[in-house]
């Protein structure tokens, strides 16, 4: 499981680290406080080609490597989980096209996503179909050379700002999961009949654009369907195998950022005439935080490497790393608040934001209860 970064990955890691510390870290608290989507961060990502990381060179990308992408997500999440999510969701929205699109569809859609000209979103969840996506009710009815979408999607990251949205809908409501198909909505913000309602009052990732999408006879060309009718659910599961390590990388970055801050605070904060870092109780807390973070990193890198190698076992590894990293992020950030004491409880210091941001990583891309089901099923099937 020992995965080492190559020279190119180390260079990208260092470059992203310097970029986010200089440009994004100073914005993180304001993004959280205002709860406004940070278009300036999008511009930074465009200028420095970070959106190109998930894409292979033939579509204007820089890498196409899951490990390289997730190392970058980790670095961004150390200072701002909202900003890291922008990068992760760009990958999430492009994965269905890269995995299920024809060469013509890939040439048509991917270059604008790789340069960040267009933002992406992935519309799978519904109000009554979260952990059970096969129970979705959004319909896609064929009418000649077009499909007409009706229904609603909920909790869609980038839903109100994305130009390219991959939508999953039932083409055969009687067929269960085998009746789901996937479609690419291009120029989504200009689509007649599509409205996005922003969701306010989130606990964390407050600057992220999270929306409910309403489809009122939205027309999509049949040429924008990914694969055959009924292929959508299998495609969605393949995408989640790739995207869950991205969420895990976000959680890993949050944990590392909180650990770094808590350790620095412990060296500077004095009580009873000495730094609190000299007290064994604090040392044990920091040691546990570090162990949990390092274990999560090993699994995130391992799962990412399996994806890059097209090796077996990706589904279980993706679920394990998402489970471990998100649980670690929640524990580490909670302990970071404890180490800061009263100061950890106010937003003058970043660890309370990190604790709030960490919680969502246990929920989206499949709750951690769902991850346990995936892991157990993989184990018991042998």
Domain residue ranges of the chain, discontinuous segments joined by +? 7-114, 120-230, 233-380
pLDDT at 131: 85
Q: What percent of the chain has pLDDT over 90?
A: 96
Looking at CATH, the fold of the domain delimited by 233-380 is given as Butyryl-CoA Dehydrogenase, subunit A; domain 3 (1.20.140)
If one counts every other C-beta atom within 10 angstroms of the C-beta of residue 334, the result is: 17
- The whole-angstrom separation of Cα 61 and Cα 317 is 26
Q: Is 254 exposed, middle or buried (0-12, 13-18, 19+ CB in 10 A)?
A: buried
Give residue 203's pLDDT band: very low, low, confident or very high (50, 70, 90): very high
pLDDT at 356 over 80: yes
Distances in Å between the alpha carbon of 348 and those of 32, 38, 80, 147, 259?
A: 12, 20, 15, 51, 17
Say how many CA atoms lie within 13 Å of 98 toward its Cβ. Answer: 25
Class of domain 7-114: mainly alpha
Q: Is 57 exposed, middle or buried (0-12, 13-18, 19+ CB in 10 A)?
A: exposed
3-class state of residue 210 by DSSP? strand
3-class state of residue 120 by DSSP? strand
- Among candidate residues 161, 139, 130, the one with its CA nearest the CA of residue 38: 161
- The whole-angstrom separation of Cα 84 and Cα 50 is 11
- The whole-angstrom separation of Cα 295 and Cα 17 is 21
Model pLDDT for residues 120-162, shown as the tens digit of each residue: 999 999 998 888 888 999 999 999 999 999 999 999 999 999 9
Across the chain, what does the average pLDDT equal?
97
Q: Which CATH superfamily is domain 120-230 in?
A: Butyryl-CoA Dehydrogenase, subunit A, domain 2 (2.40.110.10)
**Encoded tokens for 159:** 């839903």
3-class state of residue 18 by DSSP? helix
In 201-279, alpha helices (H): 232-268
pLDDT at 140: 98
- The whole-angstrom separation of Cα 141 and Cα 134 is 17
Give residue 63's pLDDT band: very low, low, confident or very high (50, 70, 90): confident
Which of 149-153, 188-192, 333-337 is the least confident region? 188-192
Residues in the chain: 382
- Among candidate residues 177, 131, 129, the one with its CA nearest the CA of residue 151: 129
Asked if 212 and 221 count as a contact pair (C-beta separation under 8 A), the reply is: no
Cite the beta strand spans of 81-240 per DSSP E: 120-123, 139-143, 146-157, 164-170, 180-185, 194-198, 210-221, 225-226
| Active-site annotation holder among 75, 126, 212, 365 | 365
Annotation marks residue 365 as catalytic: yes
- Mean pLDDT across 331-359: 98
- Among candidate residues 205, 223, 115, 201, the one with its CA nearest the CA of residue 157: 205
If one counts every other C-beta atom within 10 angstroms of the C-beta of residue 370, the result is: 18
pLDDT at 382: 64
Model pLDDT for residues 65-111, shown as the tens digit of each residue: 999 999 999 999 999 999 999 999 999 999 999 999 999 999 999 99
pLDDT at 1: 63
Model pLDDT for residues 272-293, shown as the tens digit of each residue: 999 999 999 999 999 999 999 9
Model pLDDT for residues 304-332, shown as the tens digit of each residue: 999 999 999 999 999 999 999 999 999 99
């Amino acid at each position: 499981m020992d995965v080492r970064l190559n020279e190119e990955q180390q260079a990208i890691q260092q470059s992203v680290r310097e970029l986010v510390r200089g440009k994004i870290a100073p914005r993180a608290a304001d993004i959280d406080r205002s709860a406004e989507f940070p278009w300036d961060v999008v511009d930074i990502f465009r200028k420095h080609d970070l959106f190109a990381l998930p894409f292979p060179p033939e579509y204007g990308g820089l890498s196409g490597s899951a490990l390289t992408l997730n190392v970058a997500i980790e670095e961004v999440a150390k200072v701002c989980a909202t900003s890291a999510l922008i990068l992760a969701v760009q990958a999430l929205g492009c994965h269905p096209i890269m995995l299920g699109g024809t060469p013509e569809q890939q040439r048509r859609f991917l270059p604008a996503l790789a340069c960040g000209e267009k933002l992406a979103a992935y519309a799978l969840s519904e109000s009554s179909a979260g952990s059970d996506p096969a129970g979705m009710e959004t319909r896609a009815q064929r009418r000649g050379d077009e499909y007409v979408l009706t229904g609603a999607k909920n909790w869609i990251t980038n839903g109100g700002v994305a130009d390219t949205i991959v939508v999953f809908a039932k083409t055969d409501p009687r067929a269960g999961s085998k009746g789901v198909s996937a479609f690419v909505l291009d120029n989504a913000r200009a689509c007649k009949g599509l409205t996005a309602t922003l969701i306010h009052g989130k606990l964390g990732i407050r600057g992220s654009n999270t929306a409910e999408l309403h489809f009122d006879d939205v027309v999509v060309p049949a040429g924008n369907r990914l694969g055959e009718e009924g292929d959508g659910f299998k495609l969605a599961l393949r995408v989640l195998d790739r995207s869950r390590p991205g969420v895990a990388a976000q959680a890993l970055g949050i944990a590392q950022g909180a650990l770094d801050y808590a350790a620095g605070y412990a060296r500077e904060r004095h009580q009873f005439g000495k730094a609190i870092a000299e007290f064994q109780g604090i040392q044990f807390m920091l040691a546990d935080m570090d162990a949990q973070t390092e274990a999560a990193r090993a699994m995130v890198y391992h799962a990412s490497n399996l994806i890059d190698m097209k090796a077996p076992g990706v589904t279980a590894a993706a679920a394990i790393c998402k489970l471990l990293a998100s649980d670690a992020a929640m524990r580490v950030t909670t302990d970071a608040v404890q180490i800061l004491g009263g100061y950890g409880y106010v937003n003058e210091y970043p660890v309370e934001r990190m604790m709030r941001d960490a919680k969502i990583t246990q929920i989206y891309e499949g709750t951690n209860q769902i991850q346990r089901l995936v892991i157990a099923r993989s184990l018991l099937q042998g």
